[in-house]
Amino acid sequence: MDTQSEVVSRLRSVFASGVTIPEEFRRAQLTKLMSMMKENQELIVKALHQDLSKPKFEAVLSEVQIVINDLRYTINNFSSWMNPEYVGKNLATKLDTCFVRREPLGVVLIIGAWNYPVQLLLLPLIGAIAAGNCVVIKPSEVSAATDSLIAELIPKYLSQDCYAVVRGGAEETKSLLQNRFDHIFYTGSQTVARSILQAASVHLTPVTLELGGKCPCLIYGRIDIPAAARRLVWSKFFNAGQSCVAPDYVLCSPAIRDALLPVIRQTLEDFYGKDPKSCPDLSRIVSPRHWTRLVELLGKTDGKVVIGGESREEDKYMAPTVVTDVTEDDALMKEEIFGPILPILTVDSLQEGISFINRQESPLALYVFSDESHIVNKVLENTKSGGFCSNDGIVHMTLPTLPFGGIGASGCGQYHGHYSFETFSHRRGCMLRGWALERLNTLRYPPYTDSKLSW
């Protein structure tokens, strides 16, 4: 088996041969990726169940379909994305041909995380292939079954000369990062992102960082409580809360909290039954280490556990849990929860809610639930976040025409659809000029005179 550096240098010479450049090559690879997704849905669902007990419905929706949708959109459109983009000109460049040319970056590295171990690797891969790159794919070792399935499927379907899967944990990834890449696309935690940046700095490699954080859900004003409860519960407890865009905490007035709580309780029962432990529609925590972190985190809160709170080590289960009376300096507010615990904090005014959000790091997503559009607009206009969605959670990321990515501590760079293609392309500004109007150029050649400036 090739060492990591042999893999990278092999891809580098394949890239230099130009094989990934023709549109037809890229289209053929994307089409094979589509076949991979369609022909192996069952295996993918099975691996995700092994890793996270992901319900089939959630696996198909958030791992298989989302990739197929992005693939379809990209296959239908990337040809026009490849076209030169002609730009506006001024008098001095009137006779020139001025355009932006999208060129592949070279050999790029995609590092995925365990919570959506298929889409977090394959959505960026679609853009990297469409843009004409060679790619090293590094799945998360934490979601072990999906890791090994990806390593088995990719070489079966895609060109082994151009795309390679490299497996391993932190140590292997660190040594992989010593190689020179032309772009690093990293999804994962803020802590690891710092070492990714350090490794990238050695070769001055550009990076995209898809990180996490605490996504607020501000519920304010007139509101359809039952609909709000359903959408909140669905988006929070989807994948047992292990979503980078899950609502991390709720901010609302005491009156809304009191109205919402019994409806959340009922909604949880409607969705997961009286005994969520035995419900097949609830994922499990990915590993004993992650489960312990959540149990300890819940143990540290000074808030009141009003719903759920139970956990069971043998199958890494944690009940959908709601905690009230949580304050800004509570343990639950110190880190991204990334599990099925929903703290509810209260604020006395909309402005207080906005100020609260603005005191925290910029989140990956910001949710506002309200029937009143002026409230939604006020929050939109007075806050910062990677993405924004009113009256629902998570769903904005399923639309391939919207850019997806963070801002500040929640990441940098964007992807999905056309944005993935742009991320993995260099925009080369080109001016094709002939020899015309040389007499006019005497105006810029020495000897310089003041009269030449006043032209």
Active site residues: 210, 244
- Residue among 20, 146, 179, 187 that touches ligand NAD (CB under 6 A): 187
- Residue among 51, 58, 182, 210 that touches ligand NAD (CB under 6 A): 210
Minimum distance between the CB of residue 208 and ligand NAD, rounded to whole angstroms? 10
Cα–Cα dist 383/355, whole Å: 9
Is 124 among the residues that bind ligand NAD (CB under 6 A)? Answer: no
DSSP letters, 406-422, are: --GGGEE--BSHHHHHH
Is 414 among the residues that bind ligand NAD (CB under 6 A)? Answer: no
- DSSP code of residue 132: T
DSSP letters, 310-370, are: -EEGGGTEE--EEEES--TTSGGGTS---SSEEEEEE-SSHHHHHHHHHHSPPPSEEEEE-
Minimum distance between the CB of residue 387 and ligand NAD, rounded to whole angstroms? 10
Report the residue number, 220 or 338, with the smaller CB distance to ligand NAD.
Answer: 338
Give the dihedral sign, CA 12/18/19/21.
Answer: positive
Is 369 among the residues that bind ligand NAD (CB under 6 A)? Answer: no
Which residue is associated with the tokens 């710092």?
194
- Residue among 15, 291, 338, 419 that touches ligand NAD (CB under 6 A): 338
- Residue among 4, 29, 115, 324 that touches ligand NAD (CB under 6 A): 115
Is 112 among the residues that bind ligand NAD (CB under 6 A)? Answer: yes
Cα–Cα dist 406/421, whole Å: 17
Do residues 200 and 176 touch, judged by C-beta distance below 8 A? no
Is 174 among the residues that bind ligand NAD (CB under 6 A)? Answer: yes
**Span interacting with ligand NAD, options 95-103, 186-194, 230-238, 431-439, rule CB under 6 A:** 186-194
Minimum distance between the CB of residue 116 and ligand NAD, rounded to whole angstroms? 6
- Residue among 192, 228, 252, 350 that touches ligand NAD (CB under 6 A): 192
Is 169 among the residues that bind ligand NAD (CB under 6 A)? Answer: yes
Q: Edge-to-edge, what's the strand order for the sheet holding 134-138?
A: 163-165, 134-138, 107-111, 183-187, 207-210, 411-412
Q: Which residue is nearest to ligand NAD (CB)?
A: 212
Cα–Cα dist 97/82, whole Å: 17
Distance of CA 19 to CAs 13, 29, 332, Å?
10, 12, 51
- Interacting residues toward ligand NAD by CB under 6 A: 111-115, 120, 138, 140-142, 169-170, 173-174, 187-189, 192, 195, 210-212, 244, 336, 338, 364, 406, 411
